[in-house]
Amino acid sequence: MKIKKYLSVLLVAAVVLIPSASAFADENSSTSQITPYVVGVGDSRANAITITPNEYGGQIFDLFIQSATDQDWFKWTNTSANFKRIVVNVGGYSGNGPTRAGVIVSYNGVSELGPIYTAKAGTWETQSFSNIILPPGASIYVVVDNPNFTSMSQYRLNFSHYDYSI
C-alpha cells in the first residue's frame, strides 16, 4: 500500500513539474548574455560557504569575484578523530581571471594561523596550498578576493583532504 501511495505522489509531482518553464527564463536573452552573479553568499568569514567533500575527500567551486571589495569565504572543519592533509588550489584554468587566495587555520577557536597567501597572488596562475596538516577539531578557512580589481574574475577552487598519520 505504501508503494502505491509513493508512486502516486511521485507521478503527480512529475506531471506538475514537467511542463513548467524556468523561473529565470527570459525571451530576450541569449546564452552569451548570461551574467553569473552570486551576491551575498560566503561574502564574510562569519557566512563562509561550508565545504562538503565528496566520498573521495574533495569539492570544486566555480565562482566569480565581482568587485574590489568582494570576498568569497569557504570553511571546512575536521570532524574526524584523525589528522588530515589539506590541499587547496585556486585559479589556473582557462578563462580564470586574476585572484588572490589565502588560508587561515583555526585551532579549536583558541588560536589561529594566517592569513597566508602564495607568491602567485593577484595572477592568473594556480595558487596552491598543499600539505597543510589539520588536527581533529580544527577548521580551515579559504578566502578568495581581488584587491587589484579591474573586471569580474572567474575562478575555480579545488579543495581536497586526505588522511595523514604522524
d(CA 81, CA 137): 8
Fill in the amino acid letter for 119.
A
> Using 50, 70 and 90 to split pLDDT, how confident is the model at 1?
low
More confident call, 13 vs 85:
85
d(CA 66, CA 147): 11
The per-residue pLDDT of the chain, averaged, comes to 82
Q: What is the pLDDT of residues 93-130, one digit of tens each?
A: 777 888 999 999 999 878 999 999 998 988 888 999 99
Q: Which residue has the cell 597567501?
A: 117
Record the pTM.
0.74
> Using 50, 70 and 90 to split pLDDT, how confident is the model at 76?
very high
* CA dihedral angle for residue 33, residue 94, residue 89, residue 58, rounded to 10 degrees: 70
Residue ranges of E strands in the chain: 49-50, 58-65, 71-77, 83-90, 100-107, 111-117, 127-134, 139-145, 153-164
Domains of the chain plus CATH, in order, are 30-164 (2.60.120.380)
Q: Do 140 and 104 touch, CB atoms closer than 8 A?
A: yes
| 3 state SS of 25 | coil
| 3 state SS of 74 | strand
